[in-house]
Amino acid sequence: MPTLAAGSRLLAEDLLANTAPVDTMLSAWITWSPTLTALTLGSGSVSAKYKQNGKTVHYRFKFTYGAGSAVGSSPKFTLPAAPHADYANMPLGDIDLTDAGTANRRGMARLVSGSTVEVVSYGTTGIATTTTSTVPHTWASGDTISVVGTYETT
């Protein structure tokens, strides 16, 4: 924030320079198109949005299972920006795996390489395990994989 000496005038460029961070915080989330691996869309849907403030990225991703959709072994998706290298093999998001009308199960988005994260589910014992077509449940229309996370870019 600029300081003004007595008798100085505040200029428009001083105000603009100091409102840029506020503009970023107030701006709308941006849609991105993640690359899906072991996730077949069919008539399902994907919603992927993010907001970047400096090097900090906040994101949300939702895959909704529909007719012709499929979840394979170790499903993955790409993030909107490459995470810092320090995140290698670390969790980059919390996951809710919804078996529509039955149960919600937890998981994590684990960075596997570059900007690709894997959908990992927790078994009933709390142990992280590979998500498949039948783990943590058999996927059907209306089921969802919802992810929220925050990380630092390079």
Domain 30-152 of CATH type 2.60.90: yes
Summarised one tens digit per residue, pLDDT across range 40-82 is: 999 999 999 999 999 999 999 999 999 999 999 999 999 999 9
Please answer whether residues 82 and 114 qualify as being in contact, where contact means their C-beta atoms are separated by less than 8 angstroms.
Answer: yes
Please answer whether residues 38 and 120 qualify as being in contact, where contact means their C-beta atoms are separated by less than 8 angstroms.
Answer: no
**What is the reported pTM?**
0.83
Per-residue model confidence (pLDDT) at position 24:
57
Domain ranges of the chain: 30-152
Burial of 75 (C-beta count, 10 Å sphere; 0-12/13-18/19+): buried
pLDDT band at residue 2 using 50, 70 and 90 as cut-offs: low
Summarised one tens digit per residue, pLDDT across range 10-42 is: 666 665 665 555 555 568 999 999 999 999 999
Site of tokens 């994907």: 46
Q: Is the pLDDT of residue 143 over 80?
A: yes
DSSP letter (8 states) at residue 86: G
